[in-house]
Structure 1
Amino acid sequence: MINQTITPRQAVMWFCLYQTGSAMLILPSSLATIAKQDAWMCIPLAIVMFLGVSTFYLAIAKQMNGASFEDYFQRILGSLLGKIVLFLFVLLFPYLIFILVLRDLGDYLTTSVIPETPQAAIYALMLAAVYYVVRLGATVIGRIAEILFFVVMTLFLVGFLSLFVNADWRNLLPMLEDGPKPVFHASIHLLAFPYLESVLFLFFVNQFDHAKKWRRIIVRSAILSGFACFIVTMMSLLALSAGVISNLTYPSYFVVRTISIGDIFERFEVVISIIWYISIFFRLALLLYVSVQGFAGVFRLKYPRALLIPLSLIAIMMAKVVWPNMAFLITLLQVWPYYCIIFGLLFPIALWLVGKVRLSGSSDA
C-alpha cells in the first residue's frame, strides 16, 4: 500500500523542506513589496500566528481518533457528502498547488537557469522522480529527507551567511516607518503561504500514536522553516535593500550572485538552485502523495498507486495553461493568500465545529 509510516524526525524534516520549497525563492520579494525594510519582522509574527492556528488542527487531529483524514470526512459529514467535500478539497487545494508548483519550477528554470529547455521536458523529468518516490511510499520519502535535510541546510547556511561580507545594516532603517500595519499585512501573506498549507499534514495524523506528538512535529517544522525564511529575507535586505528585492522575481537567487570572497568563493547561485530543486522535489512529493490518498479515499480504491500516472499526466498538461502570462501571475499572487485562508483556516474551523456537534451527538446517544 502507498500509505506507510514515517518517524517524527523524518516528518519534521519532510514538512520543513515542504514549507521552504517555493517560499525560499519568492518570499523576500513579496514581503518587501508590502513591509519594505521591515520585511524581516513579518516572519516571527507569522510563526506566532501559525502556532495559534495549529490549535484548530490539533483539535481536528483529536477528533480523528486514529482514523485517516479521508475517513474523518465521511465520518462527520456522511458517506455521500463527505466524499463530495473531500473531492473538492483535494482538487481545489493540494492538487491545484501541485500544478502551480510544477509551473513555478518550469518558469524558474526557463528564465534563470536553462532558458532553451522546453518546459514539458522539465515537468516530465521532475515528475518521473516524484512518481517513483511516491510509489515507494512515505517511508522511503522520509528516509530520503533524513539524508538530504542536513545537506540542504549546510549549503543554505554557507551560502546565505556568506552575504555578511556585503551586509549594510542601514538597509533596515528606518524601522516601522509606516507603522505596524504593513508588517501585519505581510505576515498574513506569509501565514497563508506556506504555513496554512499545513492543513495537508492532517493526512499524516494516523501515522503517529498521539495527536499531540503530531502537533509537536508541525510546530518544529514551522520553526525550522521560519528560521530559514528569516535568514533568506534578512540577508537579502542587508545585501540588496528592500527597494531592489521588491522588484525582483527571484531575489534569493539573485542575491547570492553578489557573493565574491577573494575572487574564489563566488557563483553560489548554482548551489542555491540545487537546494531549491531538492526542496521542490519534497514539496511536489507531499502534494502528490496527499492528492493520491485523498482521491483514493473518495473512490474507495484498493490500490491508490493507480492514480499516480493519471494525476501526473494531467498536471503536466494543466501546468502549461494554469496562468497565461506574468500579469495574470501577479494578480494570482495578490489573491492567493485569501484563497489559502479559505482552505487552511476557515475550512478546518468549520470542519472542527461540525465534528464537535456530530461526534458529541453520537456520544450522547
Structure 2
Amino acid sequence: MNAKELITSRQASIWFIMYQLGSAFLVLPATLSSYAQQDAWIAILFTLCIQVLIVLLHAGIASQLKGKSVAAHLEQLLGKQGGIWFVGLFATAYPFLIYSIVLRDLADFVANSIIPETPPEAIVALMIIAVNYIVRCGISTGGRAAEVLFSLVLLLFALGFFSLIPTTHLDNIKPVMENGWKPIVHASILTIGFPYAESVIFLFIAHHFKEPDKWKSAVMKASMMSGAMFLFMTFVCIAVLSEGVVENLSYPTYFAVRTISIADFYERFEVVVAVLWYIAIFFRLALLLYVISASYASLFRIKSNKPLLLPISLIGFVVSTIVWPNTAVTVRSLEEWPYYSMFFGLVIPIVLWTIGKMKDRNASS
C-alpha cells in the first residue's frame, strides 16, 4: 500500500470527530430536547457510556481484519460471493443512504437559513466537486486536510459557544431529572443511532492505518471529543434559550449564536456556525463517498475506486432530492432512523464478530 493510502491515528481521529459532528451539530440539541427536555445534556453522558461498548465491539472486528480490507475479511467469513455481495448491499443500504441524506441536509440548511435566494442545487454541486477532489487525492490527503482544518473548527466552536456563556440562565436547566430516567434513555437511543452507531463505517479505513492497532484508540478519542462538544453546546443552548424554545427550532445551535450581541459590535456569529458546519459536512461526505466507492469497486472487481466517484455522487444527488419529500416525512424519519442505524451499527457487527470468533476457534482447533 503506497503512502497516499495511509493515514496516522491522529489524522483518523480528527477525521472521525468531523464526521460525527456533521449533521448532528445543527439538529442534535433540538432532537434530544424534544424527548428529554432540560435533561438533554444528561442523555449525551449516557450515550457516551454506551458508545464505549460500541467501540469495543467494532474494535473486536478491527482486530480480526489483521490488515485486510473489510471486503477481503467478509469474503473469508461468508465466502467469495457472499462476502462481496454483502459489502455491496451494506454500502447501498447504509453509507449511500446517509450520503444522500447529508446532501439533502446541506440543501435544506442553505435554502432555509443562509442564502434562500440561491438555488440549493448550486451549493450542493460545489460541495460534490470539492468532496470528489479530496477523495480522488487519497486517504492521506484527506487526513492531512482534516488535521489542518481541525484547529479552525475548534476556534470557531470556541468563538461561537463560549461567547454565549454570559447569557446563560442556569434556571433553564432546572429541575434536573424532573421526569426520571425514561425520557433520558429514549433521547440517548436517538444519539446512539445518530451519529455514534455509524462508527461501524470507520472499519472501512482500518486497513489504511499506519498503525492498525491504534484504530480503537482513534475512534474512542473521536467519540469522547465529539461527545464533549455535543454536551457543551446542548447545555449552553438550553441554558440560553430554554428547552421549550430549543425543541421547536430546526437549527438551535445556529439560532443560539445569533443572540450574541455585545456593544453592538461583537455579533452576527451565525456565520461562524455555518462555516464550522460546512467543514464538518465536507469531511463527513468525503468519508462516506470513499467507503461507498471502495465497496462498489470491490463488488465490481475494479482496481481503483476513482472511476466510480462521479457516478455515485450524481446518483446520490438525485436520491437526495426525493429521500425527504416534505417536512412531515423528515420528522417521521428522524424518529425511525436510530433503530435502522443501530441494525447496521450494532446487530450486524455482533453477527460478524461472532462468525469471526467461530472461524478463529475452528482454525486453531
Both proteins in one fold, TM over 0.5? yes
The residue that corresponds to 2:252 in the other structure is: 251
Aligned to 1:7: 8
Q: Is the 8 A contact 2:9 2:211 kept in 1?
A: no
Q: What is the match of residue 205 of structure 2?
A: 204
Question: Partners of 2:47 and 2:211 in 1: how far apart?
Answer: 26
Write out per-residue CA displacement over residues 64-100 of structure 1, whole angstroms, 9 at most, x where no aligned residue. Answer: 1111111111110001111121111000111110000
| SS in structure 1 of the partner of residue 143 of structure 2 | helix
Contact 1:76/1:359 (8 A) holds in 2 = no
Return the TM-score normalized by structure 1.
Answer: 0.97
Aligned counterpart, 2:284: 283
Aligned letter for 2:232? I
Q: Is the 8 A contact 1:58 1:212 kept in 2?
A: no
2:93 maps to 92
Superposition pairs of residues 219-258 of structure 1, within 5 angstroms: 219-258=220-259
**Per-residue deviation, residues 295-334 of structure 1 (Å, max 9, x unmatched):** 1111221121010011011011111111100000000000
Amino acid at match of 2:344: F
Aligned AA (1:26): V
**2: CA distance between counterparts of 1:282 and 1:59?**
25
Deviation at 1:212, TM superposition (A): 3.9
Structure 2 unaligned blocks of 5 or more: none
In the alignment, which residue of structure 2 is the partner of 1:27? 28
**Runs ≥4 residues deviating over 6 A:** none
Partners of 1:12 and 1:211 in 2: CA distance: 13
Q: Equivalent residue for 1:48?
A: 49
The equivalent of 2:194 in structure 1 is 193
1:271 and 2:253 correspond: no
Could you tell me whether the CA contact under 8 Å between 1:73 and 1:83 is conserved in 2?
Answer: yes
What does residue 125 of structure 1 align with?
126
Counterparts in 2 of 1:1-365, with a 5 A limit? Answer: 4-208=5-209, 211-364=212-365
Secondary structure in 2 matching 1:177: coil
Match of 2:58, as an amino acid?
A: Y
State the secondary structure of the residue aligned to 2:140.
Answer: helix
Give me the whole-angstrom Cα distance separating, in 1, the residues matched to 2:235 and 2:81. 49
Q: How many residue pairs end up in the alignment?
A: 364
Question: Structure 1 CA distance, aligned partners of 2:81 and 2:276?
Answer: 43
> Distance in 1 between the 2:101 and 2:73 partners?
27
Amino acid corresponding to residue 123 of structure 2 in structure 1: I
Residue 329 of structure 1: SS of its match in structure 2? Answer: helix
Distance 1:346 1:254 in 2: 37
Q: Residues 13-69 of structure 1, C-alpha deviation per residue, up to 9 Å, x if partnerless?
A: 110011001111000000000000000111121111010111111111111111111
Counterpart residue identity of residue 19, structure 2: Y
Distance 1:203 1:270 in 2: 33
